[in-house]
A and B are shown apart, each in its own frame.
Chain A
Amino acid sequence: GENVEQHPSTLSVQEGDSAVIKCTYSDSASNYFPWYKQELGKGPQLIIDIRSNVGEKKDQRIAVTLNKTAKHFSLHITETQPEDSAVYFCAKRSGNQFYFGTGTSLTVIP
């Protein structure tokens, strides 16, 4: 189906530690997987994305991995900082539509 499962729903880490959020999907047509960060009172902001022909992509402290065979992808944030605290959403594109995970509320404890 079109569901995207996201885990965990909440995550607390100490400043400087790493955070990992995982998402799984079930269809084979999806070929684009973006991640969004949503701060309180704001719209989701695209922070990183990966296409199906790539297994890993990194942008400074943020990385995304994709296992298309197993149909799961993950967001990795290293050296977390308090300003990383937000809700993170994974998504997949199937055709022209985007389907979103249920979100992970990340708290980075100073």
Chain B
Amino acid sequence: DAGVIQSPRHEVTEMGQEVTLRCKPISGHDYLFWYRQTMMRGLELLIYFNNNVPIDDSGMPEDRFSAKMPNASFSTLKIQPSEPRDSAVYFCASTPGFGEQYFGPGTRLTVT
């Protein structure tokens, strides 16, 4: 398996623009997690899905953030409108049930 795939790897955008981050989990994994990593706050869980259904989105910072998982092999994290404080590395991770969690390579987002 190719592991968790994320795109784009880098994104630079201007404040106010919409940003969409994409994730393809490992085939057969029924849990998908979105994390944000910054120097100040470390790894923060934003939202996670089980069998494509959002289970806990309490970590989503505000209404500007939204996430979807239309099918078992694809998820998106959208920020609209983006702000400079959203600059961070965003990771997607997947897990098979109560098994090990595997991370993607991340998307480095810079909002100017």
| A interface residues (Cβ-Cβ under 8 A, vs B) | 32, 34, 36, 42-46, 49, 89, 91, 93, 96-98, 100, 102-103
Of B11-19, B65-73, B79-87, B103-111, the one with at least 4 CB within 8 A of chain A: B103-111
Quick one: closest B residue to A45, CB to CB? B103
Neighbour of B42 across the interface among A43, A93, A102, CB < 8 A: A102
B101 in contact with A98 (CB, 8 Å)? yes
B55 cross-chain contacts in A, Cβ below 8 A: 96
Quick one: closest A residue to B102, CB to CB? A46
For the complex, count residues of B whose C-beta is within 8 A of A. 20
| B interface residues (Cβ-Cβ under 8 A, vs A) | 4, 31, 33, 42-43, 45, 48, 50, 55-56, 91, 93, 98, 100-106
Docked Cα-Cα span, A43 to B91, in Å, equals 7
Docked Cα-Cα span, A97 to B4, in Å, equals 18
